[in-house]
Amino acid sequence: MFRKVIVMGVSGCGKSLIGQGIAQHFGFRFYDGDDFHPPVNIQKMQTGIPLTDEDRLTWLLTLNTLLRDNKNMVLACSALTPAYRAILHEGINDLQFVYLKGNYDLIWSRLRERKDHYFNGQTMLKSQFATLIEPTDNEAIVIDINAPVAQVLATAVDALKQPAALKITAC
């Protein structure tokens, strides 16, 4: 069985909310990847400047260390590309990605309602969608977020309970 879960997707897809629910269900610790961005990344995002691969590298390496240092956990992290997912996964066994999939209009409508978050504006969301390379079914459990939160969470938990859920082994 998996011991670590990364709930992934673009900003506004519900990573933190669903990740917290998964963690609570399984009795795992929850970490929000946003809490580990260096100040320079946060400053860029607050001013609406999308992050580059170079900006994300230190952050991804920090999250990989967090995954290595914890036995059972759920991490909310965008993990937008296969390269980012490979960095996160490096040297980690028993890891499962859960991809919260939604379209631009749905997620933008959610982000417009969000208060007190440094992720700023349509330009950044468009940048995330442009960067996103969706995981395949053999890379992640794919969950459609065009449903009520309780249903999305229940679908994720049910999928994680399946014996075939663990599809990813150490890189």
> What CATH number does the domain containing 62 carry?
3.40.50.300
Contacts for 145 with CB less than 8 Å, ≥ 6 apart: 9, 13, 14, 100, 101, 102, 106, 152
How far is it between the farthest Cα atoms of the chain? 44
Give the range of the structural domain holding residue 82, as residue numbers without chain letter: 4-165
Residue 62 lies in a domain: yes
Under the banding of pLDDT at 50, 70 and 90, the label for residue 164 is low
Residue 47 lies in a domain: yes
Residue 87 has pLDDT above 80, yes or no: yes
Residue 89 lies in a domain: yes
Residue 102 lies in a domain: yes
What's the pLDDT score for residue 44?
A: 86
pTM, two decimal places: 0.90
Residue 170 lies in a domain: no
